[in-house]
Structure 1
Amino acid sequence: MKEDVLAVPGEGADLRTCLGWGGAQLRDAGVDDPRREARLLMAHVLRTDLAGLLARERIGDSERIAFLSAVRRRAAREPMAHITGRAGFWSLELETSPATLIPRADSETLIEALLDYRPAREQVGSVLDLGTGTGCLLLAALSEYRGAWGVGVDIAPDAARLAARNARQAGLDGRCVMLAADWASSIRGTFDVVFSNPPYIPRGDLAGLMPDVREYEPARALDGGRDGLDAYRALTEALPLLLAHDGVAIFEIGIGQEHSMPSLARQSGLEIVDIRADLGGIPRAVLMRHRRDA
């Protein structure tokens, strides 16, 4: 329904009326699961969770106005995480902003791969995250490997500051530092684990991305160059000087890029240990180490 059919909830409107209007607006805007998203926006406005909505019938006028504004932003395809300022990743609740990519469940595949590859927690003492964004990969790894320390690097100063705030909020700031730098240009020394979720969308495919991504997330974190592999070339070339002797690098990859990674690894004296699929069955995490000659 459009606004001229389903009237905008006025002063005194109850929660159910507001949710009905919100769901209709999001449905007409093409948002997936519009009723649930309307409820999530209402929960955000009321500072509760979805279960907490069950105990509410009425909302105040300031809350109604805030909800209408939030729905209109989401109907314009602004990401939910930008409206709420938060996103969940692994066991963490992270602050988000337009300065970084929004953490996604697919990226948790990299943490799962590390836990399988290094199940003994004492096996990881140091972690480097190149292109750290919100800090999600580094902080999730440190939350699991409690004896480890880490470094997160992002070329965008706003992103590095955001990652540092997330580290403080997670109680992990004493075990990591966040730097603003171009990949590993400021890094010396080696690490047991090197993460990266670099830009990997081929430039010609950017226009076809969902508007939530194309119009609101930073292009520098999406644009992987002509073939989507520009960052991987730079990163694999740098890896031999960053990886400890028995270290592992775990990179997120895009659709079809599992076919290109073995040759890039070989050119830098590396080998592929494993390639892990995400929950959708798409190859998502590539694990590399120093090549071991027969």
Structure 2
Amino acid sequence: MADTLPDTLGPLLRAARQRLTEAGVTDPALDARLIVEHFSGTTRTQAIADPGRKVGLDALAAIDAALERRISGEPVHRILGYREFHGLRLSLSPETLEPRPDTETLVEAVLPFVEATAERQGECRILDLGTGSGAIALALLSAVPGAIATGVDISQDALTTAMRNAGDLGLAGRFKALQSDWFEKVSGRYHVIAANPPYIPSGDIENLQDEVRDFDPRHALDGGVDGLSPYRIIAAEAAAFLDLKGRIAVEIGHTQRNEVTDIFSTAGYGLAGMFRDLGGNDRVLIFEHGF
């Protein structure tokens, strides 16, 4: 309980780490630090320079509750309510996938094309399908002042979160949220169509890590019987919304490169780039129409 936690910063951090360690949490030192800093309003520098700093009772109670949530299996960033992505702090909500470092691969993969298009044409129009927290679109807007983006999601909760993130980052003027089932309500043409679609086969959902299965929204994970349903939709319908020399960039599961390439090839696209994540796994494919 909260009254068992020390009320000074240094000992509090050690006690929090010990509690998570004893519970078998994977990265107890990092999670303890994130929780203590967030709910006490302190920084790592303060913990080092002023370990005797007093922490109030309300903060201790919040830290205690957060530690118990973490021990019960809730991901630390769900508890904090935000996640860092490509240098941006993004708020999360129950209907948004927690953006992960693997998806930064997609941003880096398509960024040179976005920059070149904006420089050549004065703007680069981006369509982010299944935008969730807005991670992909907002990272690209943050990096390229000439870019504008429409974030599409079937969930109004996700779109509300994405718009809040755009506002917090000063990007709301270049970001539009659209509630749509894939391309259903989309109009116009875009230089880049980007997506981190659901790509887990329906039958594999129960085998995912508890933190993913129990806390990420199911509709953001489930890619149909073989995990490829969203790619079929994108490949079949994107041409009507893609600029003549535009690109489609999709994140994939690490075993799906050949299948996804075949789906787009059949629809008339050629593979313009393949990118691996930091773990060396196939992660992002970029396609161009009419290769």
Shorter chain as denominator, the TM-score bin is over 0.9
Give 5+ residue unaligned stretches, structure 1.
Answer: 1-6
**SS of the residue aligned with 2:215?**
coil
Residue identity opposite 2:215 in structure 1: Y
Maintained 8 Å contact 1:9/1:18 = no
Give 1:66-215 correspondences, 5 Å limit: 66-120=62-116, 121-123=118-120, 125-215=124-214
Q: Does 1:10 align with 2:10?
A: no
Give the AA of the match of 1:157.
Answer: Q
Moved runs in structure 1, 4+ residues, more than 6 A? none
Could you report, residue by residue, the CA deviation over 1:142-195 in whole angstroms, capped at 9, with x for unpaired residues?
A: 112211211000000100111011111111111121111101111112100111
Deviation at 1:118, TM superposition (A): 4.7
Cα distance in structure 1, aligned partners of 2:184 and 2:41: 42
> How far apart are the structure 2 equivalents of 1:283 and 1:117?
20
1:42 to 36, 39, 42: 36
* TM-score with structure 1 setting the length: 0.92
- The answer to whether the aligner puts 1:278 opposite 2:277 as a matched pair is yes
Report if aligned partners of 1:122, 1:145 keep a CA contact under 8 Å in 2. no
Against the structure 1 CA distance between its residues 233 and 35, is the aligned structure 2 distance closer, same or farther, given a 3 Å change threshold?
Answer: same
2:105 is matched by which residue type in structure 1? T
Q: How many residue pairs are counted as aligned between the two chains?
A: 286
Counterpart residue number, 1:4: none
The share of aligned pairs that are identical, in percent, is 37
Separation in structure 2 between the aligned mates of residue 231 and residue 126 of structure 1, nearest angstrom:
22
* Whole-angstrom distance in 2 between the partners of 1:30 and 1:171: 40
Cα RMSD after superposing both structures: 1.7
Shift of the 64–118 alpha-carbon distance from structure 1 to 2, 3 Å rule, reads: closer
1:69 counterpart letter in structure 2: A
Runs of at least 5 residues in structure 2 that lack an aligned partner in the other structure: none
Determine which structure has the larger helix proportion and give its number. Answer: 2
Aligned to 2:262: 263
Structure 2 CA distance, aligned partners of 1:118 and 1:63?
Answer: 44
Say whether the 8 Å CA contact 1:11–1:61 is kept in structure 2.
no
Contact 2:73 2:211 in 1 (8 A): yes
- Secondary structure of 1:201's counterpart equals coil
Q: Is the 8 A contact 1:127 1:194 kept in 2?
A: yes
User: CA shift at 1:56, angstroms?
Assistant: 3.6
Offset, 1:97: 1.4
In the alignment, the residues of structure 1 paired with residue 4 and residue 104 of structure 2 have an alpha-carbon distance, to the nearest angstrom, of 42
